[in-house]
Amino acid sequence: MKSLKKVHLGIKGMHCGNCANAIPNGLRALDGVLEADVRHEAGEAHVSFDEAKVNVSRLLEALTRLGYEAQESAA
């Protein structure tokens, strides 16, 4: 059964459209991530994921691997 969760992540180091492409691609590559909407002007990403498959720590880990500093932010 799917347990959908949506989080806002604050991401440091995004400065251009390339970043805004690399990040959702990296996030969607994780099993369980359904949607990753990145706004590089705002320095944030809105991510929908299946809590049964993946969690916020895994999302942040993936961003760290891509070279960005990220943290969960209040909606």
- Interaction site with Cu ion (CB under 5 A): 15-16, 18-19
- Residue 22 Cβ, how far from Cu ion at the closest point, in Å? 8
User: Residue 56 CB, nearest distance to Cu ion (Å)?
Assistant: 23
Residue 53, token pair as written in the block? 């498959």
Q: DSSP characters for 38-56?
A: EETTTTEEEEEEETTT--H
Quote the CA–CA distance of 35 and 53 in Å, as a whole number. 14
User: In whole angstroms, how close is the CB of 16 to Cu ion at the nearest point?
Assistant: 3
Our CB check for Cu ion shows the closer of 45 and 54 to be 45
